[in-house]
Amino acid sequence: MPNADQSPVTYASYLRLDALLDQQAPASDSHDEMLFILIHQASELWLKLCLHELRAARVSIASNQLRSAFKMLSRVAGVQKQLIHSWDVLGTMTPADYLSFRDLLGTSSGFQSQQYRLIEFLLGNKSVAHVERFRDHADAYRNLQQALVEPSIYDEALRALQRHGLDIPSSYISRDFSQPYEPSREVEIAWSKVYRNTERYWELYELAEKLVDLEDRFQLWRYAHLRTVERIIGRKTGTGGTPGVPYLAKVIEQRFFPELFSVRTAL
């Protein structure tokens, strides 16, 4: 039976709203600083859900539970829509609005988001340099070191291809996962067989398309980020010392699942 002394669960208590809504602490009198804080805090919450789903999807793929992975990957794609639209809201802030509190940000930058880096590592964009940037933050450094050496979702997808009898080079099945992924002609050929024989490899075909959706949304998020930054600060250097727009433009060129795009030309 419930403890008579225990307070009833309410909407506010279950969601811990008192604590959650007490986390916004503008450092200036600028009206738009609240928008800036909330957009970034909400984004980190959505990223937390993305990590939760992507990690579970990786486990499902590794254990041949592909249909379970599809649901999780679709959910991440839905979250990505929310993240993309958040830039539209932030874009209502003008350069003058941002300049009214920008100096108070110091060297803080989204470039320092641990969760964003963990998601990139999960998707296969590994970088020892990005880990080292967190050396002074013990928990984040440990988390990123662990993620660096773990297989990405794409690594597990390639293992799934091999389990289904497709020819994936052994060097791609057992490799140093801390190193960036390098495209492979053999892997492209394997995906080509999936796309040419969709009835035989239906689940692998659906997995491929879920991954393409994931990358497409991620690239749209990156592009929306670039356009919002350019709209608000132009070509200024970012607060974290990054080149700003030129850096973001270069990042957009990165691919997580290269053969899933090159195979379209091959077909």
Q: Is 102 annotated as a binding residue?
A: yes
For the CA atoms of the chain, what is the radius of gyration?
21
Q: Do 237 and 243 form a contact (C-beta atoms < 8 A)?
A: yes
Q: What angle do CA 173, 215, 248 make, to 5 degrees?
A: 110
* Residue-level pLDDT at 110: 81
Q: Name the percent of the chain lying above pLDDT 70.
A: 95
**CA 136 to each of CA 112, 128, 131, 141: distance values in angstroms, whole numbers, following the listed order:** 12, 15, 10, 8
The model's pLDDT over 134-185, given as tens digits with 9 standing for 90+, comes to 999 999 999 999 999 999 999 999 999 999 999 999 999 999 999 989 999 9
* Residue-level pLDDT at 251: 75
Mean pLDDT, to the nearest integer, of 194-218? 97
* Residue-level pLDDT at 7: 86
* Residue-level pLDDT at 115: 96
Alpha carbons 153 and 227: distance in angstroms, whole number: 28
Q: Is 85 annotated as a binding residue?
A: no
* Residue-level pLDDT at 265: 93
Q: Do 101 and 233 form a contact (C-beta atoms < 8 A)?
A: no
Q: Is 225 annotated as a binding residue?
A: yes
The model's pLDDT over 121-130, given as tens digits with 9 standing for 90+, comes to 999 999 999 9
The model's pLDDT over 208-264, given as tens digits with 9 standing for 90+, comes to 999 999 999 999 999 898 888 888 888 777 666 666 777 677 777 788 999 999 999
Instruction: Answer whether residue 2 shows pLDDT above 80.
Output: no
* Residue-level pLDDT at 234: 85
Q: Is 239 annotated as a binding residue?
A: yes
Query: Would you give the distance in Å from CA 245 to the centre of its chain?
Result: 19
Q: Name the percent of the chain lying above pLDDT 90.
A: 81
pLDDT band at 42 (very low <50, low <70, confident <90, very high): very high
